[in-house]
Structures are given as structure tokens and as C-alpha cells.
Amino acid sequence: MYNLTSSQEDLLRRLVQKVREKHIPEEFFICKTQARNLIYGDDDSQANILEITQLALDTFVANNLLRCTGQRCTLTGKAFEAVDNNFNAPDTSFVKHLTPLADVTNLDEQLKQRCLPILGAGSADRKLWDTAVNNACRVLEDRLRDVGSILDANCVGLALVNKVFAADGSLASKFSVNAERQGYRDLYAGIVGAFRNPSAHRFVDPTPEEGGAFIAFVNLLLKKLEDLR
């Protein structure tokens, strides 16, 4: 690991890029003035002039990223390696995709309205997650009726799923492959049996991790329904 600030990392990235593109020579001079230190490219254009603080210069030298003799400097192989390896920082951008509700910007609007305000009262309280999961199930059923054009508000659970996804269901014509229609039917029927029914008839009190994963999954199911609208 390198003991650099984020701004120092950005500066080194720009310097490495300009050396690689030959806008700045491999061996360059640092022009030191009372106000600032400047690195000039071959053509002296403003785009190829980099300002480097004395602290950044000293830090690069201390981390063996830069060798300087007087005002003459050159990047070390370690500098190129550091930039190419993103300063040994692992790519953790995938984490947000594996963490339910870490980013709610793309969450279904009804889920936002029906579930999130409840959780705002105490995100570790299982009783609140129970209510949020129950609401998510109701949102899913409501969407099934809406997208499937089922006018009977009393049609719920497995009967609702079958009216929408059975061979003669209201959305059957959306599928060119019967096995896919059956897959949707089984998927939504499974959600009704495994999650909707228990939540509707008794207190489940899921952990925050379980509740978050379920709401995120319902969000996916809602998106798949919208694709069939």
C-alpha cells in the first residue's frame, strides 16, 4: 500500500498518463518558484503543465515513485505499477450490488413509499422489518393485478398468480416459450407460498439482512412484471 492522499494519487495518474502519451518526457524538469512547482511538457502547452506541491513531490520520492536529482526527475517503474494496480486498492464497487437496499435510488416507487418510512423508525427492529416485508408482498400482489389486468381486488395469493401466468392467464400471450411462462408462474407462486402467506398470517420478524434481501428481490420481481406490461 502507498501512503498517498487521493489528490496525490490523481496527480500521479495524470503524470503517468502524460509520460506514456509522450506529452511529458520520461526525464523531466521541475521548475520551482516561490509560489509553486511546475512540470512542463515538451510543447509547453497549458494542458501539459502539471503543478506539484512540495509535499506531493517529497511523498512520491519517499514512496520510491519518483527519483529526483536537483530539479531533474524521472518516474520509477513502481509508479507505473502503482497506477496500473490502482495503488493496490481492491475493486469493491460490486459490494453495493450485493448489499440489499444499500442504494435505494432505483427502488420501485411503491416500495419506497410503503416500506422505507417504516424502517426509518428503527432499522434494527425486527418487528418493523416484519411490517415492511408484509407491505412488500402487498405491493407485489397489487402490481400483479395491475399488470395482469385482474379487476377482482379479492383475488389474492396463488389464485392471482394462476390468473396471470397460467396457460390461459392474462399474460400468457407475452411468452413465446411455454417453459418460460411456466417458470414465471412457479417463481411468483413460490414467493406467495414461501413469503407472502407466512407474513400475512403470522409474525415472521425477519432479521434486517433477511428483510432487506427480500425487499430487494421483490423489487426485481416488480421490474420483471413491468417488462411484461
Higher pLDDT, 224 or 32: 224
Domain layout of the chain by residue ranges: 6-88, 96-228
Residue-level pLDDT at 105: 82
- Number of Cβ within 10 Å of residue 144's Cβ equals 24
Residue-level pLDDT at 43: 62
- Number of Cβ within 10 Å of residue 165's Cβ equals 25
Residue-level pLDDT at 39: 87
Q: Which range among 37-51, 119-133, 212-226 shows the weakest confidence by mean pLDDT?
A: 37-51
The CATH code of the domain at 6-88 is 1.10.10
Q: Which long-range contacts (CB under 8 A, 24 or more apart) does 24-28 make?
A: 24/48, 24/50, 26/74, 26/75, 27/72, 27/73, 27/74, 28/72, 28/73, 28/74
Across all residues in the chain, what is the average pLDDT?
A: 90
State how far the Cα of 182 lies from the Cα of 184, in Å rounded to an integer: 5
Grid look-up 411455454 returns: 178
Residue 42: pLDDT above 80?
A: no
Residue-level pLDDT at 41: 72
- DSSP H helical ranges for the chain: 6-20, 54-62, 77-84, 95-98, 109-119, 126-147, 157-165, 178-191, 197-201, 208-228
Residue-level pLDDT at 146: 97
- Quick check: 138 and 132 in contact, CB under 8 A? no
Residue-level pLDDT at 211: 93
- What mean pLDDT is predicted for residues 43-55? 78
- Quick check: 57 and 65 in contact, CB under 8 A? no
Residue-level pLDDT at 3: 84
Per DSSP, what are the bridge partners of residue 32?
37
pLDDT in tens, 101-155: 777 888 999 999 999 999 888 888 999 999 999 999 999 999 999 999 999 999 9
pLDDT in tens, 160-218: 999 999 999 999 999 999 999 999 999 999 999 998 888 888 999 999 989 999 999 99
**Strand arrangement, sheet containing 27-32:** 49-52, 37-40, 27-32, 72-75, 66-69
